[in-house]
Amino acid sequence: MRLAFVDLIFSWPPNGGADIDCYHVVSGLQRAGHAVHLFVAHEQQSTDRGRVNPADLPFPATRIDFTRRTLRAARVARAFQEAVDAWRPDILFLMHGFALKPQVALALAHYPIVSRYYAHELACARDALRFKDGAPCPNDYLRTPDLCRRCALDHQRRAIRQWRFRTWTADYLAARAYAPEYHAQVLAALRSMDAVMVYNAALRAHLEGFHDNVLVIPGGVSVAAIAAQAAPEKGPAEEKIILMSGRADDPLKGLDTLLEAGRILWERRQDFVIHATHFDATLRRPYFRSVPWRDHGAALALYTQADICAVPSVWAEPFGLTAVEAMAAGRPVCASRIGGLQDIVRHGQTGFLLSPGDAPEWAKALEILLDNPALRREMGAAGRRVAETEYDWNRVIARHYLPLLERLGP
């Protein structure tokens, strides 16, 4: 079949997990024999929208250019409709996008549409995180639009006044998401979609009553590209590395919890060090070292140096790519029992699931692993098996995407 992919954010090299997901889905379906084409929005002078050279991709792609002035809902929708109509796909995948996504979906509603939501875009009009005042927010834009619209406007006000903002705010203005009628456009766009893909069961439950074909489809990793080297054998007094990979400088990722757990442990033992990919090299503790930023390929090599991996997020991560990568590398994972992480890590088998923000509980679990090299090896091996059978991209494509195409295709 001819498969078009529309992504309003995509950049390569990737800015985040959504870019990686899109890249591997397009590549995987091309390897499966389908004709694919990716259509990407690029905003001039933006660092996080469409920063890609189509010639660098292993599949056909078209970049559609906009300026801050021309990034308007009607113009964006028309540009993508014209480009996609010229290619004439059988099925359209609508990938990453924020407030402009509903208008683009409505412009392309004459195709069968499969829409992927990567975070809480449909629940949170503020920033897709659904996290406010230090905790997951109980409100929901689909059900409480007036309340959420006021919250979003309050949140965006400063950035708008300064006229210095990133993709979410640019979309917010371009789509007029502050207007009361925008909620009706979101609901109409949902009705136009043949299938909706989300990362976990909680996100599927959130859409109950708004769409009757919501599929839980995980992201993946290229397991063969991640070395599953056994961690070095270390004696009781030798330094063990606890690794926190990803955007550790983001408060939502929970580094504060991990540092406090480290402080608790350091009072009674000094046989470990926490490594985190953090931009602030001045953040110093006797048990903590900041690891400089590196590209995704180089970041994967960090897992081979680690003995234990930690994902202490305090927000409801929709997926949890770093947890899957750590499992693919054969490392035990301590992760927060929240969002998609609780679907990935198998408590007591591939690692431990722990209460978000509960540093004493984290210290206890880490100590169990620090004291037991055999358990570290056992959990790491179990994690590698789960990654191979459930999260390898070839398995994800075969298990989820190819059956979906059979159901929707001509």
Q: Are residues 301 and 347 in the same domain?
A: yes
| pLDDT digit string, tens, across residues 284-321 | 899 999 987 777 777 788 898 899 999 999 999 999 99
Residue with token string 């207007």: 179
Q: Are residues 271 and 372 in the same domain?
A: yes
Nearest CA among 42, 91, 84, 47 for reference residue 67: 42
Q: What is the CATH number of the domain that holds 165?
A: 3.40.50.2000
Q: Are residues 387 and 398 in the same domain?
A: no
Q: Which residue has the higher pLDDT, 393 or 165?
A: 393
Q: Are residues 90 and 191 in the same domain?
A: yes
| pLDDT digit string, tens, across residues 181-202 | 999 999 999 999 999 999 999 9
Nearest CA among 270, 188, 211 for reference residue 236: 270
Instruction: Give yes or no for residue 246 having a pLDDT over 90.
Output: no
pLDDT at 166: 84
Measured in degrees and rounded to the nearest 5, phi and psi for residue 311 equal -130, 80
Q: Are residues 110 and 143 in the same domain?
A: yes
Q: Are residues 170 and 232 in the same domain?
A: no
Q: Are residues 36 and 22 in the same domain?
A: yes
| pLDDT digit string, tens, across residues 160-174 | 887 777 899 999 999
**Structure token pair of residue 319:** 């997926």
Q: At what angle do helices 373-386 and 359-371 cross, to 10 degrees?
A: 100
State which amino acid sits at residue 342. Q
Determine the distance from the C-alpha atom of residue 118 to the mean position of all C-alpha atoms in its chain, rounded to a whole number.
6
pLDDT at 293: 73
Q: Are residues 61 and 202 in the same domain?
A: yes
Q: Are residues 178 and 279 in the same domain?
A: no
Which range (140-144, 157-161, 343-347) has the least confidence?
Answer: 157-161
Dihedral sign, Cα of residue 133, residue 137, residue 138, residue 141: positive
Q: Are residues 183 and 273 in the same domain?
A: no
| pLDDT digit string, tens, across residues 68-116 | 899 999 999 999 999 999 999 999 999 999 999 999 999 999 999 999 9
Q: In which domain, by residue range, is 314 found?
A: 223-391
Measured in degrees and rounded to the nearest 5, phi and psi for residue 61 equal -150, 150
